[in-house]
Amino acid sequence: MAVCNETIWITGATSGIGRALALKLARQGNLVIASGRSVEKLSALRVEEPSIEVLPFDVTAEDTIKTTQQRLRTLAPVLDRAILNAGDCEYLDLSSENWASLEKMVQVNFLGMVNSVRVCLPLLRHSERGHLIGVGSQAIFAPFPRAEGYGASKAAVSYFLSSLRMDVYKEGIDVTEILPGFVKTPLTARNDFAMPFLQPVDQAADRIVRAIEKRPFQYYFPKRLYLMLRIASWLPRLWLKLQARSAQKKN
């Protein structure tokens, strides 16, 4: 059954995948509450789709969890689904000895996910069958160069969600981990390497919306990238050499 007549909170909804999801789900007849840090981008989203409610939230601001929860409760006392999608990607530059990006990845992607769960879990409990959806990454299936921070933060997200699933199961709350491959968004526009099977953002949003109807534990797409990364993980030395060769070509 198509996702319709539900109340859905989406983080990271001011750009890319989250924005496309917010528009699609709102136009499908759901009450969408969109979050992000940028008030301007949230206002622009509301101009594009006036049915969307907006709620500014910086996922790294642990001290705003309570107030954000109160505001969310005012907008939606019962939450059917939460799509926790806010995230960032910065690569580590070992030559500059700057490890700050690694800490930032953990703050935004992992602790940001934890903070977002803390905001929405009490409201999902009021739904007949709450659904918590976290956006991870297929980067967890094989190592990528300079992705020490990004990959580790998404691996942490993956474990966190699978463990959380066990704890909220008895409360009737489902947990789904979405694992996208490369999607064309402002985040990937910064990448300076080849991105196999790069897909348009609307196609990615369509796939996610169709997938969450069935509440799977995990949903990864495109399958072709998943297969490629599984083979890479079975042949780690070959993968290492291929990655090293393409890095050399770039320099």
Ligand X SMILES: NC(=O)c1ccc[n+]([C@@H]2O[C@H](COP(=O)([O-])OP(=O)(O)OC[C@H]3O[C@@H](n4cnc5c(N)ncnc54)[C@H](OP(=O)(O)O)[C@@H]3O)[C@@H](O)[C@H]2O)c1
Amino acid present at 249: K
Q: Which amino acid is at 103?
A: E
**Total interface residues for ligand X by CB under 6 A:** 32
Does 6 help bind ligand X (rule: CB under 6 A)? no
Our answer to whether residue 150 is catalytic in this structure is: yes
35: which strand partners? 55
Report the half-sphere exposure of 197 (CA within 13 A, side-chain side): 14
Say if CB 144 and CB 225 are below 8 A apart: no
3-state SS of 86-147 is: CCCCCCCEHHHCECHHHHHHHHHHHHHHHHHHHHHHHHHCCCCCCEEEEECCHHHHCCCCCC
From CA 67, how far away is CA 140, in angstroms rounded?
33
Report the distance separating Cα 173 and Cα 251, nearest Å.
48
Q: Which of 188, 203, 218, 243 binds ligand X (CB under 6 A)?
A: 188
Residues 212-251 that bind ligand X (CB under 6 A): none
Residues numbered 81-140 forming contacts with ligand X, rule: CB under 6 A: 85-89, 108, 112, 135, 137
Q: Which is nearer to ligand X, 127 or 133 (by Cβ)? A: 133
User: How many residues belong to the chain?
Assistant: 251
Binding flag, residue 68, ligand X (CB under 6 A): no
DSSP 167: H
In this structure, what DSSP letter does residue 5 have? S
Largest CA distance in the chain: 55
Task: By CB under 6 A, tell whether 23 contacts ligand X.
Answer: no
Residue selected from 8, 10, 30, 36 as contacting ligand X according to rule CB under 6 A? 36
- Residue nearer to ligand X on the CB measure, 8 or 59: 59
In the complex, minimum distance from the CB of residue 15 to ligand X, in angstroms, rounded to a whole number: 4
Nearest residue (CB) to ligand X, 126 versus 143: 143
Judged by CB under 6 A, does residue 151 bind ligand X?
A: no
Minimum distance from CB of 21 to ligand X (Å)? 9
Catalytic residue among 150, 159, 220, 226: 150
- Nearest approach in angstroms of CB 19 to ligand X is 7
**Nearer CB in complex with ligand X: 137/158:** 137
Q: Which is nearer to ligand X, 11 or 176 (CB)?
A: 11
Q: CB of 29: closest distance to ligand X in angstroms?
A: 23
Measured CA to CA, the distance from residue 160 to residue 134 in angstroms comes to 10
Q: Which residues bind ligand X (CB under 6 A)?
A: 11-18, 36-38, 41, 57-60, 85-89, 108, 112, 135, 137, 180, 182-183, 185-188
Residue positions annotated with a catalytic role: 150
